Chain A
Amino acid sequence: MSRRAGAGAAIVGIGQTEFSKNSGRSELQLAAEASRAALEDAGIDPADVDGMITFTLDASDEIGLARCLGVRDLAYTTRIPGGGAASVATLAQAMAVVDSGLANTVLIWRAMNERSAYRFGQPIVPASGGIMNIAGAGTGSLLWCMPFGAQTPASWEALTSQRYMETFGVTNRDLAPVSVAQRRHAATNPAAWFYGKPITVEDHQQSRWIVEPVLRLLDCCQESDGGVALVVTGLDRARDLRQTPVRIVAAAQSIPFEVEVISNYYHADLTVMPEAMGTARRIYERSGLTPADMQLAMLYDAFTPQVLKQLEGFGFCGRGEARDFIQGGNIELGGRLPVNTNGGLIGEAYIHGMNNITEAVRQLRGTAVNQVPKLEHALVSCAMAGAILGRS
């Protein structure tokens, strides 16, 4: 092995199940079906998988999934914490694993019945007492929120974003272009739950408050059932496989001091996203690329304000400028920087960020339904992790 560190891995297979509100089968089955599809896409025998990566929150275990796929001899497994912050971090991990030689064929998966089996967006009262939320398990200091009525991801996020919006004069109406753009993209994506259902700014404004004065219903991602999988291998081998490889040009995590995933109230200035800025610094340094080199941004969009803060954190515009940046179709297909061209977690499905990565892969292969022309590099971000993907 003489690969330069961080330069030698590619995404060679993608797979997904249908995205629904009631899959009618187990999360393990969703994981197995998505994984089988990704390996079939790559032209790799599932028996040859030797590395497996998922989220700490994923309910299916590695051995269970390996037993479904007939994985012959697993050489490496790991899980990444932080809820959706794990999504793009799986790519950094897979790249490092492949580069180091610890494993050669890495399967990444995330599968969930977070609409039909449990409600990811809602608090529950467990038999043991207190209040908990599955979405928040292990992702922050939520015990400081629950007794005060902040019991959902929407409320945790809104308490941070309100400061951003107050500081820069951003109103809820100013967030509408994010939802409108993504629902426009979803409307022409047959895999999207909201296929054929675009919305207007007025639709956004008439949707009910989820958390006043920050989030209306149409500022929030979906709760979805479904599975997504990716296959990563070395770039040299990738060139002999079935698909045009998509190169992981750079991938990194950043978790600055006192930053949390969602109950993120304790770092110095809540109007900026230090984790996005840290991730941006690393991936731009490692790639030698700049925001101007990106023709597509896939930004974790559990809630619309996160898209604005990531646009600023990754340097697509200055602090407080995202409100203006997203106007006038700039983030729509055909605009200055198309964002979340599959419809994102708002329009396509909420598979914890993973379906935004597969969209970047389709775009770079040139097979997306909402294809961005002349695409060289795509940014994929979940703020605490990010990657630049490119043509090989």
Chain B
Amino acid sequence: MSGTPIRPDPVFTADAVFFWEGADRGELLCERCTGCSRLRHPPRPMCPHCRSTGREAVRLSGRGSVYSWIIPRHPAPIGFAEAPVVVLVELEEGIRLVSNLEGVAFADVRAGLSVEVAFVPTRGGHAVPVFRPRGSTA
């Protein structure tokens, strides 16, 4: 990527700040319950299984597969030079994440396509996780 980033910054809410701070460091994080060790996304202050408020951020493998994909054409998304491929990625650890898919033509995207995480900058100096086909060079 060249030029000044124009992608929108993420919104740092109290319960999700760890995720975006991790992204700033180039780490894909997920919330894990310290009571029952289950992962959860989106983040929340209580485990829905054991109701513990104990939580920790754990690093994910960054590997997953494409679950669904679209291109928003109109209105043009704010903060993108070209319409992005928006994907729902199913991560190896069983978490689904909304993100972008880069490095593959829209016509070539398939359900189950193996992808891995990369980080791209945002307008305000932060970073967000996007995905690229596994084994491709960025």
Which A residues are within 8 Å of any B CB, using their own CB?
Answer: 121-123, 125, 129-131, 141, 143-152, 154-155, 158-160, 162-163, 166, 208-214, 217, 257, 263, 265-266, 270
Q: A148-B99, A159-B88, A162-B70 are in contact. Are A131 and B78 (CB under 8 A)?
A: yes
Of chain A, the residue at the smallest CB distance from B122 is: A147
CA separation between A152 and B11, bound complex, in Å? Answer: 16
B70 contacts across to A, CB distance below 8 A: 150, 155, 158-159, 162, 211-214
Which chain B residues (71-90) contact chain A, with CB distance < 8 Å? 71-75, 77-80, 83-84, 86, 88
Of chain B, the residue at the smallest CB distance from A130 is: B11
Establish whether residues A143 and B13, one from each chain, have CB atoms under 8 Å apart when the complex forms: yes
Establish whether residues B11 and A211, one from each chain, have CB atoms under 8 Å apart when the complex forms: no
New A-B pairs, 10, CB < 8 Å, besides A130-B8, A159-B88: A129-B9, A144-B42, A146-B11, A148-B86, A148-B99, A155-B77, A162-B70, A212-B70, A257-B48, A270-B88
- A selection of 7 A-B contacts at a CB cut-off of 8 Å is A141-B42, A146-B8, A158-B70, A158-B72, A209-B73, A212-B71, A270-B88
Establish whether residues B74 and A149, one from each chain, have CB atoms under 8 Å apart when the complex forms: no
B interface size (C-beta, 8 A): 38
Chain B binding surface, main DSSP class = loop
B106 contacts across to A, CB distance below 8 A: 212
Establish whether residues B8 and A150, one from each chain, have CB atoms under 8 Å apart when the complex forms: no
B60 in the interface, Cβ–Cβ < 8 Å? no
Establish whether residues A155 and B86, one from each chain, have CB atoms under 8 Å apart when the complex forms: yes
CA separation between A131 and B72, bound complex, in Å? Answer: 16
A160 contacts across to B, CB distance below 8 A: 68
Which B residues are within 8 Å of any A CB, using their own CB?
Answer: 7-11, 13, 16, 41-42, 48, 67-75, 77-80, 83-84, 86, 88, 96-100, 106, 111, 122, 124, 128, 130
CA separation between A313 and B45, bound complex, in Å? Answer: 32
User: Closest CB-CB distance, A184 to chain B, in whole Å?
Assistant: 25
Of chain A, the residue at the smallest CB distance from B77 is: A149
A122 contacts across to B, CB distance below 8 A: 75
B7 contacts across to A, CB distance below 8 A: 147
A130 contacts across to B, CB distance below 8 A: 8-9, 11
Q: A158-B70, A162-B69, A166-B111 are in contact. Are A151 and B77 (CB under 8 A)?
A: yes
User: Closest CB-CB distance, A222 to chain B, in whole Å?
Assistant: 15
Establish whether residues A147 and B128, one from each chain, have CB atoms under 8 Å apart when the complex forms: yes
Of chain B, the residue at the smallest CB distance from A157 is: B70
Establish whether residues B74 and A210, one from each chain, have CB atoms under 8 Å apart when the complex forms: yes
CA separation between A391 and B70, bound complex, in Å? Answer: 44
CA separation between A306 and B59, bound complex, in Å? Answer: 36
Q: A144-B97, A144-B98, A159-B98 are in contact. Are A150 and B9 (CB under 8 A)?
A: no
CA separation between A125 and B96, bound complex, in Å? Answer: 27
